Amino acid sequence: MSLWAVILAAGSGSRLASAGLSVRKQFLMHDGAPLFWRSLRTLSRLPELAGLVVVFPPEIFDESRALLRDLLAREPVGLPCLTAPGGARRQDSVASGLFALPGQASAVLVHDSARPFLTPDLAARLSDALARGSKAVIPGIALADTIKCVDADGRVTATPERANLRAVQTPQAFDLALLRAAHARAADEGWDVTDDAMLVERLGEPVLIIEGEPGNVKITNPEDLRLLGPKEEEVP
Ligand code: CTP
Ligand code: MG
């Protein structure tokens, strides 16, 4: 297995921008490096990993690549580190990252750079599940809240059984041929999804859930910034 990581850093961070943050959240400086660097560094320590692709916003692609080059010069990760321009939707950015993978890649971890707290243990458990033959493996955690389905008027239409629900995270791990087939089908059929596993599910292929990590949250709203600690500056 030649396992690569695709790190998504091409979003616009609109929910934080509307709360006043003037830089895309994945470029927020913390501990002397932009947020996306944390996931990159954690994933690069996975012994099975063969290389990484970082997907950057096309509007600031050159600056982003230069920033990555500087970070790698300061702290080499000992792996090939490629870049790709993102697209309008998350799934378009993933497709672009997959396109940039080299021919020998056979499996991939797709990760949101907005989840800086993933641990090496989670990455290793995903990689192990792939090595044992699963073709799609994702981390999920049981829910504390009861979830309601609602209609457009805000009326409750159903309450799914909580024990059967999981909140899913990234990295999501896939056999590369399967994920490529799923993205090709999505492009043909016009599917619009919020995670990669959803595409594999629509192909009718099994997706395995392993235990996620409560701390592996996605920085999404202003209150989440507190999780990063006191020091934030902005680049580029
Ligand atoms: N992402 C991406 N390309 C996109 C949209 C999202 O690479 N076109 C990435 C983001 O950079 C982030 C991850 O996908 O790391 C999860 O997306 P989300 O948390 O929704 O980030 P944003 O889309 O940037 O934020 P928002 O939805 O608030 O605009
Ligand atoms: Mg988004």
CA 14 / ligand 2 centre spacing (Å) = 7
Instruction: Please tell me the distance between residue 24's alpha carbon and the centre of ligand 1 in angstroms.
Output: 9
Beta strands at 49-56 and 28-30: parallel, antiparallel or unpaired: unpaired
Q: Which residue reads 């791990």 in tokens?
A: 173
Closest-CA residue, ligand 1 atom 23, reads 11
Each residue of 112-139: b (16+ CB within 10 Å) or e? bbbbbbbeeebbebbbebbeeebbbbbb
Q: Where do the domains of the chain lie?
A: 3-234
Q: Which of 100, 36, 95, 96 is nearest to 67 (CA)?
A: 36
**Of all atoms in ligand 1, which is nearest to the CA of residue 87?**
8
Alpha-carbon distance 22 to 88, whole Å?
19
Cα-to-centroid distance, 132 and ligand 1 (Å): 31
**Best CA proximity match to 77, nearest among 104, 50, 96:** 50
**Ligand 1, atom nearest to 17 Cα:** 28
Residue 9 CA, ligand 2 centroid: distance in Å: 11
Q: Which atom of ligand 1 is nearest to the CA of 15?
A: 28
| Domain covering 3-234: architecture | Alpha-Beta Complex (3.90)
Distance 229 CA to ligand 2 centre (A): 23
Going by C-beta distance under 8 Å and a sequence separation of 6 or more, which residues neighbour residue 152? Answer: none
Ramachandran category for residue 136: left, alpha or beta (phi over 0 → left; psi -120 to 50 → alpha): beta
Task: For 160-216, write each residue's pLDDT tens digit.
Answer: 999 999 999 999 999 999 999 999 999 999 999 999 999 999 999 999 999 999 999
Q: pLDDT means per 10 residues in the chain (236 residues)?
A: 98 91 92 95 98 98 98 97 98 98 98 97 98 98 97 97 98 98 98 98 98 97 87 53
Which of 6, 90, 221 most suits a substitution to test ligand 1, by most atoms within 8 Å of the C-beta?
90
DSSP letter string over 63-94?
A: HHHHHHHHHHHHS--SS-EEEEE--SSHHHHH
In the structure, which protein residues have their CB atom closer than 6 angstroms to any atom of ligand 1? 8-15, 26, 55, 86-90, 93, 112-114, 218, 220
Separation CA 97–CA 52 (nearest Å)? 9
Question: Ligand 2 centre and the CA of 35: distance in Å?
Answer: 16
**Measuring from atom 9 of ligand 1, which residue has the nearest CA?**
11
Residue 235: its pLDDT value, please? 52
DSSP 106-160: -EEEEEETT-TT--HHHHHHHHHHHHTT-SEEEEEEE-SS---EE-TTS-EEE--
